[in-house]
């Protein structure tokens, strides 16, 4: 009788331990998904600001149509991208590069640089870029925690049984071109 009580006690402890690990993994997945939703909210805000910025710049820089078109094309591509975080990071990088070109235009157009609407949009966009970076760091931190939990013993046993999968980081692509400043020539 003592052996059966010990046996069932060990089984109960193992079951409780497994439930605890499972619940922790579920929590980590939910946090990662919440963090990704935060990124999407900030990206949507960025997408909404870009057309207003472009319209403001168009009035001052009519012959810079190519630069402005690149921004709109990059925005449209990014809005349609539904791939992995790495793939979406590539399209977001295209927007960032195109926006750098637009902001470089202000040096050639002093009236644009002084336009209150442009300055307001530039400030909002800069604030949004900072929020995207903060959301990206938050998401990547949650992905890191999930990856550690899935990869380390003993939680990796429960993760494998219930098919928990690692998530991809939201980072810049691993190429030098993505991390270089854009050169604008007039």
Q: Quick check: 178 and 172 in contact, CB under 8 A?
A: yes
pLDDT at 14 over 50: yes
pTM here is 0.79
Select from 8, 113, 20 the least CA-distant residue to 60. 113
For the segment 95-154, what is each residue's pLDDT rounded down to a tens digit? 888 888 888 877 777 777 778 888 888 899 999 999 999 999 999 999 999 999 999 999
Per-residue pLDDT averaged across 66-95, rounded? Answer: 86
For the segment 24-62, what is each residue's pLDDT rounded down to a tens digit? 999 999 999 999 999 999 999 999 999 988 888 887 777
Q: Quick check: 62 and 109 in contact, CB under 8 A?
A: no
Higher-pLDDT residue of 134 and 177 is 134
pLDDT at 178 over 50: no
Q: Set out the domains of the chain in order of their start, with CATH numbers.
A: 2-179 (1.20.1440.20)
Q: Quick check: 138 and 35 in contact, CB under 8 A?
A: yes
State the pLDDT at residue 107.
Answer: 77
Per-residue pLDDT averaged across 71-86, rounded? Answer: 87
78-106 exposure pattern, b = at least 16 Cβ within 10 A, e = fewer: beebeeebeebbbbbbbbbbbbebbbbbb
State the pLDDT at residue 9.
Answer: 93
């Amino acid at each position: 009788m003592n052996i059966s009580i010990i046996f069932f006690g060990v089984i109960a402890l193992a079951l409780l331990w497994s439930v605890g690990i499972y619940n922790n993994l579920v929590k980590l997945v939910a946090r990662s998904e919440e963090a990704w939703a935060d990124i999407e909210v900030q990206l949507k805000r960025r997408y909404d600001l870009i057309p207003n910025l472009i319209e403001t710049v168009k009035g001052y820089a009519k012959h810079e149509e190519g630069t402005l078109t690149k921004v709109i094309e990059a925005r449209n591509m990014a809005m349609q991208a539904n791939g992995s975080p790495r793939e979406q990071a590539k399209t977001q990088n295209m927007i960032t590069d195109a926006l750098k070109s637009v902001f470089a235009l202000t040096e050639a157009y002093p009236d644009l640089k002084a336009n209150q609407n442009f300055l307001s949009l530039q400030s909002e966009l800069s604030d949004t870029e900072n929020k995207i970076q903060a959301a990206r760091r938050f998401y990547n931190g949650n992905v890191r925690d999930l990856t550690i939990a899935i990869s380390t013993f003993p939680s990796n046993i429960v993760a494998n049984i219930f098919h928990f999968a690692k998530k991809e980081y939201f980072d810049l692509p691993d190429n030098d071109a993505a991390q270089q400043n854009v050169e604008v020539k007039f």
